[in-house]
Structure 1
Amino acid sequence: MPSKSNPPRGNKKAKATGSKSNAPQLIATRPGQIPQWITVPVELQQLLLNIFKDTFSANFNSRYSELVQEVKQHLYNRDFDNAFGNEGLRQAYAMRWSPSRALAYANIFYNLSTLTNRLLSASRAGAGNLDHGPIHELQDASGKTASVVTHSIEEKTSRIVCIGAGAGAEIVALGGYLNHLDRLALPMQSNIPPDGRRSEWPSQRHIGIIAIDIADWDSVACKLHSGIITAPPISQYASANAKAANAPLIGPDTFALEFVKQDVLNMAIEQMPAIFADATLVTLMFTLNELYSTSMSATTNLLLSLTMLLSPGALLLVVDSPGSYSTVSIGQTSDSGDESKRKKYPMQWLLDHTLLESAATGRSKNASGDRQWEKLESRDSQWFRLSNELRYPIDLEDMRYQIHLYRRL
């Protein structure tokens, strides 16, 4: 499974930090209605950018531009092994492209009222019982079949599985989103710090992220996670009050991370239940199209396996490049290299066909005869535009994407 290979397009520059925003509010939607999305407060966006800036502060030097150009060239050649083949290149990618994506992803999470309401209403009972669920027959990409038992664990932690998330954008975005959930959960009379950081806020939510990627992003992911759960650097000359108020974005006991270096298309079927069975949310951010391009059959099998493993109410979020940037070619190329006989299918069509049709018509060993998914949200083209008030050491871009949200029935 390739890593994030298509940098965002655009030329918007992140500039200075600034104005205060109103406290976030839950949004209500009606069936069939496409609401106007609200924007994450600029103060919180700046905090997320600061995590990248502080984490990689020593790397913004003359060597940085050279590394970024090398990553770009490898990605252009679709040489993913070399694009992310060493720590320097991986860090350069995370410094350059993950920040704007993290802001866009945070804005997506911020506006998904279904996810927000689900996490806010999740049980906060302590670690509970382990109950055996149904036995499923799952088939991997090689055709091997095995019986696996899913489990239902009642615990304080809501598990979120992010496929292709090694470069850290999802991790930082979810850190900002958890900060947002805590603000929503606090009583209205609570004194919320204007910059969004919390020092004595009560712990309201517990989220555990499993980030899966084929490249060795463990160090990058862990550094960014550390930047979320530890207080940012502060001048030794800062006042005593400033030092006392300096706090992490999220408390270390509320936000856990596990990185799994794994090609998800070749994941052993025995390994899948432990990762996916109790997930509240599974994300495929700028990853699904690459999976389809690698192997349509294996990707289809992955989606159908998720159908069997995820519990009712679990969410699947897919974000990818819009329009013609996310198409999959199917069929044989002629000996002369002629692509004209290969049919191109939009990624969205393939996704809907798999989840809303194949998973409900018994066309796969992993499918049942009942409808398995409902589609809650779908936008073919959505912009996230950076505020001119933001500040970051290098230029960042606006981002355009398509988004599709499904709920397991």
Structure 2
Amino acid sequence: MARLFGTDGVRGLANADLTPELAMSVAAAAARVLAAHDTSHRPVAVVGRDPRASGEMLQAAVCAGLASAGADVLQVGVLPTPGVAFLVGELGADLGVMISASHNPMPDNGVKLFAAGGHKLPDAIEDEIEAGLRSPAPRPTGAGVGRIYDVADAHDRYVAHLLAATPNRLDGLKVVVDCANGAAWAAAPQAYREAGAEVIAIHALPDGENINDGCGSTHLDVLRAAVLAEGADLGIAHDGDADRCLAVDGNGDVVDGDQIMAVLALAMREAGELTDDSLVVTVMSNLGLHVAMREAGVKLRTTAVGDRYVLEELRAHGLALGGEQSGHVLIPGHATTGDGLLTALRLMARVAATGRSLAELAGVMTRMPQVLVNVRVEDKATVAASPLVNQAVLAVETELGDTGRVLLRPSGTEQLVRVMVEAPSHELAQVAADRLAAVVADAH
């Protein structure tokens, strides 16, 4: 039987894969597991969601499940995922539940759980919850049934937290923010305005069906055009649950997560905040980031793909900054998970403080041309470990030398082998990637 929890909670097609019955059962099991780990008090859970239509249905199911297991529920409404994580700690709750499928299209939804303090649940606890779904448990009655309350100032608490984590005001900046018709539709424009920026918000009218629909961090062309049309200093793009951030400079050029991390790393080092002068990235981060940070005297630690691995490395070594090329940026001193709004505020603060354009700041790194080819195979692990494939990889690495690199790995979710090549030119990278892909396709 496949594991219910993926890399980011339980996710699937709402009302088909992810049914109200499943959501209710997961929530009840989570409450029972946490209550068993700490019997000193009645468990309290914070529940939030993004604005997709199925969120209303699933929120009702989750709250019912929690209350049926004896947990009190604090509903915080439509709020970014990092806002829910923050409020778990802020309100002293034992559990957080975010109902969202992040950047996925509207028909999908998900249930993401946070432990006390707003941290992601360890795998072992997720396994206990999954096991609890198959074990009938007695339900409390009478006064033992949980109560459900609304937290009226949840939004304001989160915005105040963001502003407190912003090192300087943004006066004089003009920014376009693409809210993806998602969870940040209200919080992002408010936070950026209160920090001092002139804000033009686009895709900030969610109707339950238009989340991520041709907008947000996975569709940057609209934002690029808006920045140029408005003469803005920069643009910010969020995904549906606003746990990540990409940017566009005043010229309309995309500034990805690697470039954002480069800017923030240098700003934090200058402020004495970059612990051990170290930045944590995944193996997918561009070689250009490695070169830029080496030249700047910043050490890079590399993890497997996934923000959970970045967070593990940050926490294990007490480090202050890490993230992914996709725009998931982690700043543990201010957030327990990736927070796209916090990232945007820190990035804009650097622009405002230095008086330099985002294009100039992001120019600290030069992105190496990068080509990714996915090859469908019957047995991804066997093919990726094939001597023939490894010999081909070694040959390309030898040809590239210090001017490029190869990353070949099995997909974590599909029967695919991913071939990524970086080289001095896009043409060289494409030729090398196609060559390796052909070897992978022929390997058995």
Which TM-score applies when normalising by structure 1? 0.29
Higher helix share: 2
Report the TM-score when normalising by structure 2. Answer: 0.27
Larger Rg over CA atoms? 2
